[in-house]
Chains A and B, each alone.
Chain A
Amino acid sequence: MSTPLRDTLSEPSIYLPTAATIADVRAVGKREKVFTFELPKGLSLAHQPGQFVELSILGVGEAPISISSSPSRSNGTFELCVRKAGDLTGVLHTLKAGDTVGVRGPFGRGFPIERFRGKDMLFAPGGLGLAPLRSLINQVLDERGNFGRVIIAYGARDPGELLFKDELERWAERSDVELHLTVDRGDETWSGPVGVITTLFPKIEVHARNTVAVTVGPPVMYRFVLMELLGKGLSEGNIWLSLERRMKCGVGKCGHCQINHLYACQSGPSFSYAEIKHLGEAL
């Protein structure tokens, strides 16, 4: 019935953040900034694309934030792309290079990139979903030869909400990347397609049996994107997504992120559709 307890008290507390110094801040959207962080000497985040950290500001609190940089470009630093949404993110947006915050992590399960190698990749980020997906996209581009086609179908509310415009331009110029952009509402600066992200899919031909799709975006988007992807004949195990939930601890204790029996911070946030389709609380 009961098992002897391990000696665990010599380990550092899982609630103690490590100091990380802001090396650079740049705006990448109307409400979004990318922060580059440096960890103390000798430490590296050693993350997988799709994992997150708990970002901590003493006196304010903590929030889960996906790691936006790819492990292939870490160089002792990592990047978070943060939208100003409330208390913690609001204070973070006032910080500058040289300021220090805390991080715990990396936490959660990332995307299983080893299973994606050799496949055609279809990335479908919506809005802020590009922030976490950028980590995987850049990892794939940095080992481009290991993958088949790379297709990116990105939708945002309006042209001003398209994130990482410099990177979008570079991707657009590459002959080995097929980039499709759309916005829900256009404006005078916009000459591209107008419509929700799913309007891009009819234009994209895929070889369903050899394609892995990875989609990250707001909850409402998933239903429609999933319908399109399944309609194209992709298998449920080859469709991956990231599920956002309220999280307070990041380590499978506090209960907030539970999706039926699964803790999103432990079993996810990256899931294949096959893993979650039978869970009533997933989508």
Chain B
Amino acid sequence: MSFKVIPKAALPDWIEQMRRSQRVVGPKPLHGQHVFGEIHGAAEIDLDYPTTVIPPKKYLFPQQEDLLTYKLDGSAPSVVQDAEPTVVLGLHTCDLHALHLLDRVFEKTHVDQPYMARRAKTTLVSIECLRPCMSHSFCKSMGTLSVTDGFDLHLTDLGDDYGVDVGTPKGAALLDGLKGVREATGDDRQRVNRIMTEKWPRFPLRLEFDVTELPSLLSVSYDSKLWDELGERCLACAMCTNVCPTCYCFNVADEVELTLTAGKRYRVWDSCQLDKFATVADGHNFRAKRGARQRHRFFRKGKYQTDAFGLLGCVGCGRCAQACLVDITPVDTWNELHRPATEGTKEAAA
């Protein structure tokens, strides 16, 4: 839409202004790491953060979420509608790409109202990453190092100012009446261009092949012995899926109050890495081996989601690699699958 500039000095006013009508959440330091949490004032937010333990997806798809509440007196259950108007301030572009995928997943065929209700009340203000956040991230390889759309506002750190790409009228409305905002000049645009040009070489390409080859690489890797090797190492702890911005599998359960007069039905994050995920009532487990579960995970990330939704199921944030105690990582896994094929070709050519 348009390009504007906000002086950094206006951040406190801006946050205060947004907080008058809605909740503002953003990255803040906690115990030496960063987490997304409610921001009460500019002093709490750290927009120059590396990454967060849990991605901001939790505001659209909370770790646990009530679907229905009911009385146990035979009356009809009620649908829980507790979505709060929220500005997510400062999400990184990998996490924004992940939300594009979740939007498609939850909107397709059967519309998932709990997600869509939160989505409709959420305003996304993303921020351009200018330095790699950690050694495990590989956003450049996955094509998520920047964004062209999908945000309401997108910030670029220009030193004393933020460059603001206005993506939607909803984003523009956040700036209404804010003192200090101005239209970008040719000079500002040049500053952004220079910063973008300078940032690019700072990020390493970590996949040893072009990511567009990933779905086809996987389709010839189904029977690789690597899956069993990963299965031997994997602890089936589910940390990798818990921290992932594109994972959305869930369990549904009921909980009755101690008085036995009322209860609720809720959903809670689940994981394909857990032993019983695919077990049916007669005890048969359709993915009993850890190797089969690792294969399923990496196929979802690199192929199944692309086939179904046209977007990769991994945005290269690196959180799973950081979280895994036995160093199972998407980069190593996919490179390993790619390597023998290449060597094989070389040998065949020799």
Instruction: Tell me the A residues contacting B by CB distance below 8 Å.
Output: 1-3, 5-6, 8-9, 11-17, 19, 58-63, 85-86, 89, 100, 102, 218-219, 244-246, 248-249, 251-256, 258-261, 266, 280-281
Contacts and interface: CB of A to CB of B under 8 A. Distances in A.
Interface in B246-297: 248-254, 256, 263, 265, 267, 270, 272, 277-282, 284, 286-287, 292, 296
A219 B284 CA distance: 8
Nearest to B255: A59
Contacts of B77: 16-17, 58, 102
Contacts of B248: 253, 255
B72 interface: yes
B280 A244 contact: yes
A1 B277 contact: no
Interface residues of B, number: 59
5 contacts: A14-B110, A249-B250, A252-B108, A253-B112, A261-B303
Contacts of B43: none
A63 to B, nearest CB: 8
A258 B296 contact: yes
Chain A: interface secondary structure? loop
Contact of B249 (A3, A5, A256, A259): A256
B100 interface: yes
Contacts of A63: 281
Report which residue of B72, B280, B303 has the largest number of chain A beta carbons within 10 angstroms of its beta carbon: B280
B79 A254 contact: no
Given A59-B254, A85-B282, A13 B249 contact: no
B134 to A, nearest CB: 25
Contacts of B149: 1-2
Contact of B116 (A8, A245, A249, A255): A8
Report which residue of B76, B79, B110 has the largest number of chain A beta carbons within 10 angstroms of its beta carbon: B110
Given A2-B150, A59-B256, A249-B252, A281 B287 contact: yes
Contacts of A266: 109
Given A11-B111, A59-B72, 13 more contacts: A58-B77, A58-B263, A61-B265, A218-B282, A245-B280, A248-B251, A249-B250, A252-B108, A252-B110, A254-B250, A255-B248, A256-B251, A281-B287
A259 B296 CA distance: 9
Contacts of B26: none
Interface of B: 67-68, 70, 72, 74, 76-77, 79, 100, 103-114, 116-117, 119-120, 147-150, 222, 248-254, 256, 263, 265, 267, 270, 272, 277-282, 284, 286-287, 292, 296, 299, 303-304, 307-308
Contact of A9 (B117, B254, B265, B307): B117
Given A5-B107, A218-B282, A261-B307, A248 B252 contact: yes
A102 B70 CA distance: 12
B251 A86 contact: no
A252 to B, nearest CB: 6
Nearest to A257: B278
B249 A61 contact: no
A3 B108 CA distance: 12
B79 A13 contact: yes
A5 B119 contact: yes
Given A2-B100, A5-B103, A246-B278, A19 B76 contact: yes
B114 A58 contact: no
Given A58-B263, A256-B249, A261-B304, A13 B113 contact: yes
Given A86-B281, A280-B222, A5 B116 contact: yes
A62 B149 CA distance: 39
Contacts of B249: 254-256
A14 B111 contact: yes
Closest 6 CB pairs of A and B: A255-B249, A251-B110, A2-B150, A261-B304, A8-B111, A85-B281
A11 B270 CA distance: 26
A16 B68 CA distance: 7
A78 to B, nearest CB: 20
B252 A61 contact: yes
B250 A261 contact: no
Given A245-B278, A254-B270, A14 B112 contact: yes
Contacts of A248: 250-252, 267, 270
Contacts of B108: 252
A63 B253 CA distance: 11
Nearest to A62: B252
B215 to A, nearest CB: 11
A188 to B, nearest CB: 28
Contacts of B296: 258, 281
A256 B114 CA distance: 19
Nearest to B285: A246
A254 B282 contact: no
Nearest to A100: B74
A37 to B, nearest CB: 16
Nearest to A107: B110
B286 A281 contact: yes
Nearest to A266: B109
A13 B307 contact: no
B278 A1 contact: no
Nearest to B167: A2
B109 A256 contact: no
A256 B253 CA distance: 14
Contacts of A255: 248-250, 270, 272, 277
